Amino acid sequence: MAEIDWEEPFCGEGNNCFRIGTDADGNAYIAVAGQEGQPLTDSREALRALIMEIKAGKADHLL
C-alpha cells in the first residue's frame, strides 16, 4: 500500500472519528480512526466532489 499522509481525526459526538488522507499518486482515503489499515479509496477529485456535495446539503436527509 502507498504511503498515506493522514490528517488529524475529525470527531463528531462521542467516539465517531474519521480520518482523511492522501498519497503521492493522487489517491484519497477515508477511514475510521484506529482502522486506517482498511480505508475507502478513490481519487482526490472524487473526494473533493463528495465534500462539495455534502457542503451543498445533498446529504442532509441522512442526518
Is residue 1 pLDDT above 70, yes or no? Answer: no
Closest CA to 9 of 43, 34, 42: 34
> pLDDT of 4-53, one tens digit each?
999 999 988 767 899 999 999 999 999 999 999 999 999 999 989 999 99
* The model's pTM: 0.77
Q: Which residue has the higher pLDDT, 16 or 57?
A: 57
Based on DSSP, count helices (H) and strands (E) in the chain, helices before strands.
1, 5
50 sits in which H/E element: helix 44-55
